[in-house]
Structure 1
């Protein structure tokens, strides 16, 4: 009875985790550049006499679906997306270099280019800063150009180049803050093959319909495991009554 209760409890715990992951994905269906999280499990046999065919579930991997989301044209020159696999570099709140695909930028009072969430966008030499009274443009290779305003023949000034990287999906992980980092903590080199699409944003790659279906399936699996726990408790009570009678 105890083994049956343990198996059902273990199953319910992992289904609850799956449900939480799916719910988080669904909540970010409209978040630009969001990559769906994936949770996979594997079955292990129960070791012990009388249970050669029983298995229980353990955590296997927590990964990220790196499929590119649809590119949505906005017409806003302050929006940009990556049209190829890869990431652009940002400065995380702890000061380290991290990576994102959630394009679009704003310019703060100091002239620093920041993401819509407020993180500085990094070039090869650090944050990119635009001079006052200038119009900023981003090129397809990530170059950032400033055009002075109020001049008859303005001369464009190259401010730097957004650091674009593509070290490979398996070499990176997604942190709790939604930013990507290298598994070994290293800093990848810039990749010239990563291209920028100006005037567009990358949509979330979460499929809302699939996520809803998964949530329904997870709910039914959770109920089944709870019923198994209830059945195990009832069987235990009935067994106790029989022993008392005997």
Structure 2
């Protein structure tokens, strides 16, 4: 009976992890630039000379759905919609380079260009900063320029270019902070062909109706696996009764 119980228990743990991912996707259905997480479930056996008597199940997030979300017009000059599959480079909490599709940009009190999560936007020479009070404009190729409202006749001055990186062909993984990173370390190369649309944002690519169906399916699978443990208990009790009769 222990084989059945342990197998069912590992399946229940995998179902709980799947439900956590589904709940996270549902909670971020309205988050700008969010990519729906994908969970990988696979059987795991113990290597050795003996026969495989149990096949446990392991579930973990291994990637995300990279399809684009819907574009919505906002009219805000610092809102960007990244065209194509490129990712925008930002600085993570640990100071490393990470990537995201969230590009609802603003200027921090210190003059840093940040996105909606407060991550500093990276350029070719590090985080991009602008003078406080200056008018900021972003070109389709990601070039950030500033001008002084007090002297409108002066031409804009370029302060940096947002790094738009291409990830095709590079193994990337999504972290718990929602940012993408290169597996094993390293950085992605800049995509010179990538461009942005100002005054627009990318919505989450999560489809609420599909997520609801997945949630119901995951709950039913969890219930089925819990019933296996109840069945194992009943079989064990029946066997014990037969032994007492003997």
Q: Is the 8 A contact 1:44 1:58 kept in 2?
A: yes
Cα deviations by residue, 1:6-28 (Å, 9 ceiling, x for unpaired): 22212111111111111111111
CA shift, 1:143, in A, is 0.2
SS in 2 for 1:29: coil
Q: Distance in 1 between matches of 2:152 and 2:3?
A: 82
CA shift, 1:209, in A, is 0.5
Cα deviations by residue, 1:47-98 (Å, 9 ceiling, x for unpaired): 859x7xx965344762211111111111111211201111111111111111
1:20 to 1:48, Cα distance in 2 relative to 1, 3 A:
same
Q: Aligned runs of 1:48-197 on 2, under 5 Å?
A: 48=51, 56-59=56-59, 62-168=62-168, 170-197=170-197
1:44 to 1:115, Cα distance in 2 relative to 1, 3 A:
closer
Cα deviations by residue, 1:124-172 (Å, 9 ceiling, x for unpaired): 1111121233210111100001121022512111111001110326521
Q: Distance in 2 between matches of 1:61 and 1:27?
A: 16
CA shift, 1:195, in A, is 1.0
Q: Say how many residue pairs are matched.
A: 243
SS in 2 for 1:197: strand
Q: For residue 28 of structure 1, what is the aligned residue in structure 2?
A: 28
- TM-score, normalization by structure 2: 0.91
CA shift, 1:109, in A, is 2.5
1:121 to 1:10, Cα distance in 2 relative to 1, 3 A:
same
- TM-score, normalization by structure 1: 0.91
Q: Is the 8 A contact 1:148 1:155 kept in 2?
A: no
Give unmatched runs, 5+ long, in structure 1: none
Give unmatched runs, 5+ long, in structure 2: none
